[in-house]
Structure 1
Amino acid sequence: MNTPSYGDTVPIAAIATTLGESALTLIRSSGEHCLEILAAVFSRPEKLRGAAGNTIVHGWLIGPGGEKIDDVLVSVYRGPRSYTGEDGADISCHGGIAAAKAVMETLHKAGFRDSLPGEFSFRAFMNGKLDLTRAESVMEIVSAKTDRAREHAVHRLSGALEKEIRDINTIIVQALGASEIFLDYSEDDGIGAEAGGLLPDRPLVEEALARLKTLAASYRRERLYAEGALAVIAGRPNAGKSSLFNLLLKEDRSIVTDIPGTTRDWIEAWVSVEGIPVRLADTAGLHQSEDPVEKLGMERSRELLEAADLILYVLDGAEGITAEDQAFLQNHCTAAPNEVIPPVILLWNKSDLTPLPPSSTSSPLRFPPARPISAKTGAGIAELTREIAGVLEKKNGGGEGKAGTGIGTARQKELIDRAAAALEEALALADNAEPLDLIAPLLREGVNALGEITGEVSTAEILDAMFSRFCVGK
């Protein structure tokens, strides 16, 4: 049996929705003679064969023995005006595992094979419907955890990143063309040898490099929106950590009592904070204890704090700052030279009972100012979420910037870094008056790296590796 591979035009099919109990299941199909093959197992074959693109045909899917498999709607797409650029059909059948499997079995017997991961998007790329940045944004949309992450991916899907990459590439190509003309004709035209180390159109190369660095710097910010950050709630027992956790989560996940030490282990959940996906963790109270279970829970909490992107340290306003609070803050708010520590937001909880004293806004130990909140009434929580978002954005490269012009994948970042490094080396050689025939190939290297981002320069191995990470049905 031949192993299926990317790049053929064989009709493919895949379940595009979650396999389980639901009202509907969507099965995608595409490929050469796709509609003809589907018509052979459809109750209204002539109607399906004659259907125009972007229309829907109702009928029954018919098994090999003439038995009815399911009552379906077939959405018809005609190439090249389709997602893949090929003829295709989306089959809407009844939901449920048995129904979906029966439809897929019928399609297999008719001549369809299962699609490979990302094969629909691969075919869209091969047929000129998507460049690689748009293809990658498809999976970014699928995996988006918040609306802001979805918005950024949608901008990339609409072509914002592709346009920026192509504009930068055009600038480099113009500088490369000037360099090659200089190399071809300077000697014949008698241009002085002292000009041999100069870089024609140098301002263009400098502009391209600056724009590449801006794109490279956007990667951390875009990964924040796509992958999120770990925020750990810490503090002494009964400070109100679990109440804050439940309030931010908007549901009761942690047990809340007046008994100190109720939380013996950490619990976590994803929450959207100003559009940033945050993995919020509620930890065991940090204090001196001989209870072996509590000690184990606190040890796990300390391990989690080491991995945190942000720490929310909760002070019990009714008790004030204790020696244990001072010790924690001393360890987590004062870094040694070259030591990277997660930022800490200091929270004065129970401010509805005990207002934040003026002296708490500063400290000789350079602790961060405390923010008054009440996990009971919700006071100060709106301001807290804005501060959490601001701290995380600053930690990951600044504010939001222009949505969609950032880079969304590690592959894009690697290639942009490669192009920027080539241009930096070209400028350095020009500064040292090195021959232009050493500089021009570096400009060509930058052009090729950017071409790989959009797919103008690619190999089968690169494409297979990239699309194999997609989900089936995409």
Structure 2
Amino acid sequence: MREREREKRSNRLTVLPTPDDTRDIIDTIAAIATAPGVGGIGVIRISGAAAAVVLRRLFIPHRQESLHPDGSFRSHKLCYGTVRDRHGAVLDEVMAVFMRAPHTYTREDVAEIQCHGSYLVLQAILAEILAVGARAAEPGEFTKRAFLAGRIDLTQAEAVIDLLQAQSMGGVELAVGQLRGELYERIAAIRDALVELLAIVELALDFPDDETDILVADHLLGQVQEQVVEPLQLLLALADQGRVIREGVKAVIAGRPNVGKSSLLNQLLQEERALVTEIPGTTRDTIEELISVHGIPVHLVDTAGIRDHEDAVEELGIERARQKMREADFVLFVVDASQGLSAIDRSLYASLDDRKRIVVLNKIDKIDKIDKIGVTDKSTDESPLQELSNFFGAVPQVQTAAKTGVGIAQLRDTLYQTIIGEEEMSERISCAPNLRHKMILEKTLAACFQVKETLVTGVPADLLAVDLRVALDHLADIVGLTTPDDVLDVLFSRFCLGK
């Protein structure tokens, strides 16, 4: 069905519609492409075979020289003029541009109107466009048309929404790499290897008498492992790292009252977000903020200090703190290093179970006889910091003085290392499969393991061909060659209007 729609669109691309061509006008879509709110400039996008007709009915150029002698728009040339409503009243002074297919985002004729950023003005102009006969675009319909026209594959279309929703520069770089087609190229290389293997198998089917000579199991096993299985396993490993870069992690700041949790949050945010006082129990509810740690989004949650108390409101805050700790990917467990471990500290720490954590030994500026790197005078007794360090053992530890900012840079570095694991990323991640891709890649890998098993057991070539075709079909789903229409509808519904 999608192939017929692509062919239908491509056959109309070179036809300049007339005002009487109702079919083309209805098939032309329009939407506001800029975010709601007040801004200097707002953009309205029109795409479809009647984009030029719609623009001509509304836009009056300031100088006719901006147009061709026959009155048609010069492609990809900005024109200054006004937009008028159906009664001839001027709605706004604008810049307009018409872009002739196929050199456009959707590979259809596209027009854009750049007006002042008042949302009332944008809505008024869009209303006139729809009154002419164009219809309101559905979420993501411009990108969907680009996909259906073959301008981008499905991985690139998904990269658009990832770019729009990126929460850090790491997420932006990941989306841009995928938008450039880097993920598609990796998948295409694996698919080419499978096609080559399938061609060998089909050759054996055509010449059954020579099947043994054509299907050399050891050679084919090496090809499957090196050209298919290992690249698939690398992509799956990148998918887990990519999820962290795209979505980030949740880190909860926990500890008993007055150990410096709110001061730590303020230092990490570089702003006075949380109220800091010497009174225990000041924080009664959770405070959630987003920071970027070396390109990875980290959702920080400051919680109420946990202690024994009689305040009903504080009890609610403490229960919420415990809930956030259970939901967190990481816990920043804060201890007042100047006071050592209390019974509450020990109990709270024990409740973390196997939760990933970083121990923050705060208020080191209040400890006597200790320098900033934790070295003590060998002639004295063991320092409080050393006692704490021994208690927490191999758990990552950072010494800080949150009020002055000491140790905050080291805390960021430690948090990053804890997020990505013990080993640094082996390569710069320029692209990474998302959850949909990962699920399909896992199915593809399972099919490839079946191919290897089939080769080892020496079953007939026709069964081997079936296993290879299953793997190829899965890869086709990733780039959108065989993706069901209902899946496409769900994917593009995630987009905002105008994209």
Give the structure 2 partner of residue 454 of structure 1. Answer: 479
Change (3 A) 1:360 1:369: farther
Give the structure 1 partner of residue 378 of structure 2. Answer: none
Select which of 151, 173, 179 maps to 2:201.
179
Classify the secondary structure of the residue corresponding to 2:310: coil
Residue 349 in structure 1 maps to residue 362 in structure 2: yes
Q: In structure 2, what residue type is equivalent to 1:227?
A: E
Change (3 A) 1:190 1:250: closer
Give the structure 2 partner of residue 318 of structure 1. Answer: 338
Distance 2:141 2:356 in 1: 43
Residue correspondence of structure 1 range 75-154 to structure 2 within 5 A: 75-154=97-176
Q: CA deviation at 1:329?
A: 2.3
Give the structure 1 partner of residue 57 of structure 2. Answer: 40
Give the structure 2 partner of residue 338 of structure 1. Answer: none
Give the structure 1 partner of residue 80 of structure 2. Answer: 58
- Name the Cα RMSD after superposition: 2.3
Please, what TM-score do these two structures have when normalized by structure 2?
A: 0.87
Q: CA deviation at 1:361?
A: 6.1
Give the structure 2 partner of residue 19 of structure 1. Answer: 36
Q: In structure 1, what residue type is equivalent to 2:437?
A: Q
Distance 2:388 2:260 in 1: 20
Cα displacement string for residues 442-464 of structure 1 (whole angstroms, at most 9, x for unaligned residues) = 11111111112112223333322
Distance 2:243 2:327 in 1: 17
Distance 1:165 1:95 in 2: 42
Distance 2:111 2:157 in 1: 20
Give the structure 2 partner of residue 290 of structure 1. Answer: 310
Residue 250 in structure 1 maps to residue 270 in structure 2: yes
Distance 2:157 2:464 in 1: 33
Q: CA deviation at 1:374?
A: 0.9
On the 8 A contact 1:13/1:112 being kept in 2, the answer is yes
Give the structure 2 partner of residue 260 of structure 1. Answer: 280
Classify the secondary structure of the residue corresponding to 2:425: coil
Q: In structure 2, what residue type is equivalent to 1:230?
A: K
Q: CA deviation at 1:41?
A: 1.6
Classify the secondary structure of the residue corresponding to 2:113: strand
Cα displacement string for residues 286-324 of structure 1 (whole angstroms, at most 9, x for unaligned residues) = 122222222221111111100111100111122112222
Give the structure 2 partner of residue 374 of structure 1. Answer: 401
Distance 1:53 1:119 in 2: 23
Residue 240 in structure 1 maps to residue 275 in structure 2: no
Classify the secondary structure of the residue corresponding to 2:262: helix
Distance 2:392 2:413 in 1: 25
Distance 1:122 1:36 in 2: 23
Give the structure 1 partner of residue 461 of structure 2. Answer: 436
Select which of 324, 328, 336 maps to 1:308.
328
Give the structure 2 partner of residue 206 of structure 1. Answer: 225
Distance 1:17 1:196 in 2: 58
Classify the secondary structure of the residue corresponding to 1:233: strand
Q: In structure 2, what residue type is equivalent to 1:254?
A: A
Classify the secondary structure of the residue corresponding to 1:363: helix
- The alignment covers a number of residue pairs equal to 458
Select which of 228, 238, 258 maps to 2:248.
228
Change (3 A) 1:436 1:199: farther
Residue correspondence of structure 1 range 361-400 to structure 2 within 5 A: 362-363=389-390, 366=393, 368=395, 370-394=397-421, 399=425
Residue 419 in structure 1 maps to residue 444 in structure 2: yes
What are structure 1's unaligned runs of at least 5 residues?
336-340
Distance 1:325 1:392 in 2: 24
Distance 1:43 1:197 in 2: 72
Distance 2:84 2:358 in 1: 63
What are structure 2's unaligned runs of at least 5 residues?
10-23, 375-382
Give the structure 1 partner of residue 431 of structure 2. Answer: 405
Cα displacement string for residues 342-373 of structure 1 (whole angstroms, at most 9, x for unaligned residues) = 21111111112214535246436746253211
On the 8 A contact 1:360/1:370 being kept in 2, the answer is no
Q: In structure 2, what residue type is equivalent to 1:353?
A: K
Distance 2:274 2:235 in 1: 41
On the 8 A contact 2:201/2:215 being kept in 1, the answer is no
Distance 1:346 1:77 in 2: 58
Among all aligned residue pairs of Structure 1 and Structure 2, give the percentage whose two residues are the same amino acid: 35
On the 8 A contact 1:31/1:88 being kept in 2, the answer is yes
Classify the secondary structure of the residue corresponding to 1:204: helix
Distance 1:388 1:191 in 2: 56
Please, what TM-score do these two structures have when normalized by structure 1?
A: 0.91
Distance 1:381 1:191 in 2: 66
Q: CA deviation at 1:65?
A: 1.5
On the 8 A contact 2:340/2:388 being kept in 1, the answer is no
Distance 2:137 2:295 in 1: 34
Q: CA deviation at 1:148?
A: 1.1
